[in-house]
Structure 1
């Protein structure tokens, strides 16, 4: 979300469930949530308690059940070898690290996409995205470091700032010119989903946020 009470197009695309739809976890579809301040009662105090006896597989599944895309979460966390010997904080760090890798990959491809684009409006929009992704990279690198240092409130700030940047890139193709589909739309959604995983894990470490 960019601004109170405003739902971004990215939220509509990815989180466009009706407000009465069943959800396996936090549901930020009402204008506040993953891209803004937590709505009242998020995260739910009773949801997915951390058990000292919970095995890692169950921990990953419990986090993924809270996410908007269970299969994506399981592919991301469930198959990463770093997830095999870690805890909630470690899973937040793995998620942030995966986001950094994705962002770096996108940044590496944007110049080639620009070279292959003849539409000046699309070139300008991709330039905005390149700038957004530069900032996005720094925010998720900082989120990783903050989590490593147990500075969880800082982690939340960096992730939220990064989410605004990816939303800006996504939305630029829907304003200031003809509506178009971003050539890196899939990248935007992957980063958004990984950001959500970071926050789900972090909110377990600071449940009163």
Structure 2
């Protein structure tokens, strides 16, 4: 009789546990909400790839959490660009190429610090404009790197355009998020 009682008690508890595990995190953003948001951006596929598939999106409770993911994705792109600089450095042995690589290295270092700052400020909530401004300053350094390949000497194709473009697109997402947070 006691075994039967335990089975009857355990079944609803196990069902409740299953529902808890299968259901989304309390107050978490739903995947459909993320898709709807990405449709508001200039590049839906890019948004879904870099923001919507980020593992942390499942725990995001609101747009402030999504903003932190976007800052973090900018930082990842900066890190990848820095690796690219080290890979291609030897391909630019002339004075213009060396100067441009060095300028980009410096700019990406500054951008990295600013995206870190944006993330740290963004954690505080309610100061998203200040975080946005730090990210904008970081973007300006990235853009200056890209521009470096077009000025002060013959125009060359930047070896960092892919990362520069990604950061630019991520910033456009950050801008939309900040507008939503400012309501």
Give runs of aligned pairs for residues 1-209 of structure 1, distance below 5 A: 56-86=30-60, 87-150=62-125, 151-207=127-183
- Structure with bigger gyration radius: 2
Residues 141-172 of structure 1, C-alpha deviations (whole Å, 9 max, x = no match): 11111111112121111111112111111111
Which is further off, 108-117 or 156-165?
Answer: 108-117
TM (norm. structure 1) is 0.69
In 2, the alpha carbon distance for the partners of 1:98 and 1:54 equals 20
Structure 1 residue 102 displacement after superposition: 1.4
Using the alignment, how far apart are the partners of 2:87 and 2:29 within structure 1? 44
The alignment partner of 2:149 has SS state of: helix
Compared CA separation, residues 162 and 177, structure 1 to 2 (3 A)? same
Give the Cα–Cα distance (whole angstroms) in 2 for the partners of residues 165 and 67 of structure 1.
23
Work out whether residues 63 and 200 of structure 1, in 8 Å CA contact, stay in contact via their aligned partners in 2. no
Distance 1:95 1:188, change over 3 A: same
Number of equivalent positions: 155
After superposition, the C-alpha distances for 1:58-117 in whole angstroms (9 at most, x for unaligned) are 321232122221111111122111101212111111111111111112113313311232
Deviation at 1:54, TM superposition (A): 9.8
- What's the secondary structure of 1:174's corresponding residue? coil
Unaligned residue ranges in structure 2 (runs of 5+): 1-26
Alignment check: 8 A CA contact 1:63 1:197 kept? no
Aligned partners of 1:62, 1:159: CA distance in 2, in Å? 24
Relative to the length of structure 2, the TM-score reads 0.78
Q: Contact 1:110/1:130 (CA < 8 Å) preserved in 2?
A: yes
C-alpha RMSD over aligned residues: 1.7
Change (3 A) 1:154 1:65: same
